[in-house]
Structure formats: C-alpha cells, structure tokens
Amino acid sequence: MIKDLIQRNRSYRRFHQDVAVELETLRELVDLARLSASAANKQPLKYILSCAPEKNALIFPYLGWAGYLKGWPGPSEGERPSAYIIILGDREIKQSFGCDHGIAAQSILLGATEKGLGGCIIGSVQREGLRKALKIPVRYEILLVLALGKPKETVVIEGVGPDGDIRYWRDSDGVHHVPKRRLNDIIVG
Ligand SMILES: Cc1cc2nc3c(=O)[nH]c(=O)nc-3n(C[C@H](O)[C@H](O)[C@H](O)COP(=O)(O)O)c2cc1C
C-alpha cells in the first residue's frame, strides 16, 4: 500500500487546469502536515492556500519549473496547477526550519496522491517577488511552494543507466522519465 502510494506520488508539472481543487481539500492536506513530525515539536510551519484562478495567477510567475527540461518554460495556460500550498516558516517560533518543510511536503503530496491529485515541490521560487505579490509579512520565511492539481502527464520511473545520468527527460510522446538509483547503490553499509 505505502509503496504503491509512493510510486504514484511523482512530480507532476502539467495539469488539467480546469479541474478545480476545493479549499476544503487543501485544508485536509495541511491537516496531514499538521500531524507530521517536527523537530523539538516546535511546529513552526504556516501555510497559504490558493485555489482561486486569480490568486493562482499571482503565484505562478515566481516559480521555476523542471530545470533539466531545457527550452521548456513551464506549463502553459490550461495546463497550470489549479491550486497551491505555500509552506512558510514562522520566524517568531524558530529561525531555521531544518527538514520540517520536507516532511510536511511529503505528507501533503501523499495525501494528494491518495485523493487522485498530483503535485510538485517547487524550491526554485523568486521569493521576494512572491512575497510582494501576496503581501506575505517578513515574519514568514517562504520555504516551499507545492503546486497541485489533476495531473495531465504520465511519469515513469527508470533505473539510472551505466552513465550515471540522473537527469529526468521527456520523450517524443510527452512521457516524463525519472531515473532512480538502484537500491544496492544507495545502501552503503
Ligand atoms: C526540495 C525540492 C525542491 C524541488 N524544487 C523543484 C523546482 O523548483 N522545480 C521543479 O520543477 N521541480 C522541483 N522539485 C521536484 C524534483 O525535480 C523531483 O522530485 C525529481 O525530479 C524526482 O522526480 P519525482 O519527484 O517524480 O521522484 C523539487 C523537489 C524537491 C524535493
């Protein structure tokens, strides 16, 4: 069950933009993050939810997509995410956020996968532009943006080849291929 969920939880970057994600769905996903592990149980993460087209349009320009897909500027209109969850760190609680936001992101994306949705963790964010666009107070550090929606692409896992190239690629049918290292190559002791 968990392996199946993790295998289905791929990074999706093209979506059926016309399929809405409800605010209540986003709240349920953040609730999964709320219940997840947090260093010293400080729980410094806060969230901004977006599922309205106007708010989504404010967020999209500040995101960087698929660095290895040279020449692809990111999803075009009609294939963009229909929702976002922005993960913030509350500096009034902590100054650094360790791996709390990675754990939160994974909980949210596994929950999204279970609901038939998909998403992508975006760390390549023009943070000051996004801060201004959404008027995010300086109290909050912008950690990650999670793009969410109903996936419109197929993603398949491959083994890393003998050349060791870990770069993902898209084939002529638009299928996205993600090389993963083999189990024996990552267990070192
Ligand atoms: C911390 C983190 C930051 C990431 N930032 C971006 C990003 O800015 N843009 C993007 O398109 N994908 C981003 N990704 C997605 C990775 O490219 C993706 O996880 C990787 O290619 C493996 O694909 P998979 O998630 O389907 O296993 C990020 C993933 C992580 C964990």
pLDDT digits (tens, 9 = 90+) for 58-70: 999 999 999 999 9
pLDDT at 26: 99
Asked if 142 and 86 count as a contact pair (C-beta separation under 8 A), the reply is yes
- Ligand 1 touching residue 168 (CB < 6 A): yes
- Ligand 1 touching residue 147 (CB < 6 A): no
Tallying the residues shown for the chain, one arrives at 189
Question: Of all protein residues, whose CA lies closest to atom 1 belonging to ligand 1?
Answer: 123
When the pLDDT of each residue in the chain is averaged and rounded to a whole number, the result is: 98
Measured from the Cα of 176, ligand 1's closest atom is 26
Average pLDDT over residues 117-138: 98
Average pLDDT over residues 85-93: 99
Whole-angstrom distance, CA of residue 144 vs CA of residue 64:
12
Question: Of all protein residues, whose CA lies closest to atom 26 belonging to ligand 1?
Answer: 10
pLDDT at 63: 98
pLDDT at 188: 98
Q: How far is CA 188 from the centre of its chain?
A: 29
Average pLDDT over residues 27-35: 99
Q: Which of 161, 38, 51 is nearest to 90 (CA)?
A: 38
- Ligand 1 touching residue 64 (CB < 6 A): yes
Average pLDDT over residues 116-142: 98
Q: How confident is the model at residue 100 (pLDDT cuts 50, 70, 90)?
A: very high
- Ligand 1 touching residue 72 (CB < 6 A): no
Residues linked to residue 121 through DSSP beta bridges, in sequence order:
146
pLDDT digits (tens, 9 = 90+) for 17-26: 999 999 999 9
Residue among 122, 142, 155, 175 to mutate when testing ligand 1 (max atoms within 8 A of CB): 122
Average pLDDT over residues 126-154: 98
Average pLDDT over residues 50-55: 98
- Ligand 1 touching residue 143 (CB < 6 A): no
